[in-house]
Every structure is written in structure tokens, then in C-alpha cells.
Amino acid sequence: MTEYEVLVASLRPQLLRFARTQLRNEAWAEDAVSETLLVAVEKPDAFKGNSQLKTWLIGILRHKVIDQLRRHKNEALVPTYEDDVDFEDALFQSDGHWREEPEDWGHPEVVLQQRQFFEVLEICCDQLPPAQGRAFMMREWLGLETTEICHELAIKPGNLWVLLHRARLRLQLCLQDKWFSNGIRSSDSDALGVALP
């Protein structure tokens, strides 16, 4: 194996974690990552070095994830009870004001630069109900347009907006609990109450 191939192979666990988060199906994630690694190994000259290798591989993986979603679009994603639970009553009063003012999240640009924040965000995304998680990932991480997401999930735009709204509310609660409460922004994963990958 060349040094390049060893480096590509070493990134497999990170790529697999990304694909699992997007697809929520182990077999599809394995296929997407395998196809990505195959492209990288068969066409090493395609990597020009304009970015980090990991960034380049995730760019390829995004396309492979979309291919998997298209390939399996006829497999129904059945909404669960959790997809229908609305957290608005827990967060807002009937007049639309916060029940409890959210804690100061500090300077978002500083927080977003911290690797651990993204690890906690990934944990929170993994806890989303399947339909919400898939819709959120397709919109926010894959950057797909409303029409394409609705086509892939066989839902109407109104349903998509509800799923995205509920996913964002769940993520807010999860991040509030696992990251922002008590000013936890350090590398102490035990204090987060979560097992970081």
C-alpha cells in the first residue's frame, strides 16, 4: 500500500460515521463509504491538494450518500410516534414567548470552531427520530433543495417544514442539555453526560 492509500484508509471510520448519520442504515453507509474509497484509490490524481484529504473525501461521500438515497427511494420511511411529538408547548407559552429564556450561548463563531461541539451535535442528530433526522441531514448537511428532499422522501413541502421545525426544536433541547447548560464548553466529555465517539 502506498502512503496515500494508507492515509485514505485511515479516514474510513470518520467517513463511515458521517455516512451513518446521513443514511441511518448500516449497509447503505458501508456501500457509500466503500464507493468513496474506491474512487479515491482508483483516481489518486483527482486529489489536487487544494483542501485537506478528509474534506475532499467527504465531498465525494456526499454524492455517494445522495446516490444511496436515490437508489433506495422506494423503501418507505415510516414516520414514528416521535416524529409527531411537538416540543413547542415545552418551549413556548401560548402567547409565543419563551417559557424559560434560553441561556446565553456565548459567541457562536467561537463555539462552532470547537471540534467537540460538532461531536455533541452529531450525537444529538443521531437521537432524532428517523424521518426528522433524514430530512434535517438532507437539508442542512447535504444542502439539498426542498423539491429534491420532498421527492426523495415522498412527502409534501408542508410535511418537510414540519419535520425540519421539529428536528430543530429537538436539537435545541439536546444542545441546551448536553452542551450549553452549566457553561460546558471544555474537553471534559464526562461532564457532558455523553460518550463521545
For residue 6, give every residue at least 6 positions away whose Cβ sits within 8 Å of its Cβ, in sequence order, or none: none
**Within this chain, do residues 35 and 116 fall inside the same structural domain, yes or no?**
no
Establish if 197 belongs to a structural domain.
Answer: no
**Within this chain, do residues 87 and 63 fall inside the same structural domain, yes or no?**
no
Better-scored residue on pLDDT, 17 or 74: 17
Q: Which has the minimum average pLDDT: 20-29, 42-51, 76-85, 89-98?
A: 76-85
Better-scored residue on pLDDT, 71 or 79: 71
**Within this chain, do residues 161 and 185 fall inside the same structural domain, yes or no?**
yes
Model pLDDT, residue 31: 93
CB 194 within 8 A of CB 178: yes
**Within this chain, do residues 125 and 168 fall inside the same structural domain, yes or no?**
yes
Is pLDDT of 130 > 80? yes
Q: What is the mean pLDDT of residues 71-99?
A: 69
Q: Domain limits at 137?
A: 81-192
For residue 10, give every residue at least 6 positions away whose Cβ sits within 8 Å of its Cβ, in sequence order, or none: none
Model pLDDT, residue 118: 77
CB 146 within 8 A of CB 100: no
Per-residue pLDDT tens digits for 143-174? 888 998 888 888 999 999 999 999 999 999 99
**Within this chain, do residues 167 and 101 fall inside the same structural domain, yes or no?**
yes
Q: Which has the minimum average pLDDT: 33-37, 116-120, 176-180, 187-191?
A: 187-191
The CATH number that applies at residue 91 is: 1.10.10.10
Establish if 32 belongs to a structural domain.
Answer: yes
User: What is the tally of structural domains in the chain?
Assistant: 2
Q: Which of 30, 49, 71 is the last residue of a domain?
A: 71
